[in-house]
Structure 1
Amino acid sequence: MPISEAEYGWTISFEDAVISALEIDFRFGIRMDDDPHGAVKVIIETPFSICEPGKDEQAFDPARTQSLAEALKILNAGVSSVIAQKDGRLTVNLLNGLKIKAGPNEDYESWHVILEGHYVLTCGPGAGVALFTDNNNPLASK
């Protein structure tokens, strides 16, 4: 699962990734396993949406855990890519056409993308995204 950087941000492309676990703890965690390449974890800490082709966008708030029930439909879905833009927009593209979207928040860290053992992308307050590597990775154990 390579990560590539472009002018707009970063793209993580998958060969055979599946959403294997969801975590709900006032954040919404999405674990994607891409054997034999390892795992990627997306942690969303602020409101996000799931977009389905031909339907209205569904909004979710991790702080309101009861609102997340409908988001459970993404479990076991195939994943094609994760796109993290430098302006703070995040998109997880699923093979079934669904898109999980999160944006920046003025007051809080919005989201993190963790490539186990390699990189962490974090959207800080405002709109900036920082890339951490193994040597300066503050979220390696999350």
Structure 2
Amino acid sequence: MQMDEHEEYWRIAPEDATVTRVAFDWAVTVQVSGASTSFEARIESAFVLRGPDGTESVIDPEGGPAQLAPGLLLLHMGVDHVHAFKDGRLDIGLTGGACVHVDASDEFEPWELTSPEKTRIVSTPAKELAIWRG
């Protein structure tokens, strides 16, 4: 996973990347694959999905099927950018202006990114990031 450090966030370069899988259990897992990158975002807290038309849905991984259904809109969407903010937030920018936004948490790890080459970024309860590189 190629990562570039900026003052407030890490940028994961998703060149020609697409959401290739969305899975639901006690989290929402989003698989992103592209020409030069592949990673999985596992989101374990409620998050905001803003559609291309600006409509926002709050998706809670512990919600029922009707509440999780808007998450299926992610499937096959192009990924423009991924920003892992140093204060624990995550933004996944999608084609057409859609976006996934996950807030940081004081109580638990709301999200993590993992790649096949063993890079792992975790938003910690201290509202910061823990990063391991493979």
- Percent of aligned pairs with the same amino acid: 26
**Root mean square deviation, CA, Å:** 1.5
Contact 1:79–1:93 under 8 Å retained in 2: yes
Provide the TM-score with structure 1 as the length reference.
0.86
SS of corresponding position for 1:96: helix
SS of corresponding position for 2:68: helix
Tell me: CA distance 1:108–1:126, structure 2 relative to 1, closer, same or farther (3 Å): same
Query: Unaligned 5+ residue runs, structure 1?
Result: 135-142
Query: Unaligned 5+ residue runs, structure 2?
Result: none
Q: Which residue in the other structure is 2:62 paired with?
A: 63
Compute the displacement of 1:118 (Å).
4.3
Alignment of 1:78-93 (within 5 A): 78-93=78-93
Partners of 2:26 and 2:126 in 1: CA distance: 20
Contact 1:13–1:81 under 8 Å retained in 2: yes
Contact 1:25–1:65 under 8 Å retained in 2: no
Number of residue pairs the alignment of both structures matches: 133
Contact 1:38–1:116 under 8 Å retained in 2: no
Partners of 1:65 and 1:126 in 2: CA distance: 29
Provide the TM-score with structure 2 as the length reference.
0.91
What amino acid sits opposite 2:41 in the alignment? V
Partners of 1:20 and 1:58 in 2: CA distance: 21
Partners of 2:50 and 2:37 in 1: CA distance: 26
Compute the displacement of 1:90 (Å).
0.4
